[in-house]
Amino acid sequence: MNSKEFSLKIESIVKEKRITYMDAIIWYCDTNDLDVGTVNSMINKSLKEKIKDEAINLRMLKEKKGGVLPL
């Protein structure tokens, strides 16, 4: 499986199960008997950005540039 296929799979899990990207990756690894550390190379740039944005919104990471305005 390449990074594009992996990202599409994670996207579909997020939509189907309505869970976070981080939870979707962990769920995918658990159901496929994979170590979470081994999928690191399959996470592409766009998926990393989505995980980062999600972490900032959940206040798990601090945003480096100013605050985010509410919509």
pLDDT tens across 30-58, in order?
999 999 999 999 999 999 999 999 988 88
pLDDT of 69 over the 80 cut: no
Cβ atoms of residues 21 and 51 within 8 Å: yes
Q: What does pTM read for this prediction?
A: 0.79
Distance CA 69, CA 36 (A): 33
Q: How many CB atoms lie within 10 A of CB 3?
A: 15
Per-residue pLDDT, averaged over 15-36, amounts to 95
* The pLDDT of residue 60: 83
* The pLDDT of residue 29: 94
Cβ atoms of residues 41 and 3 within 8 Å: yes
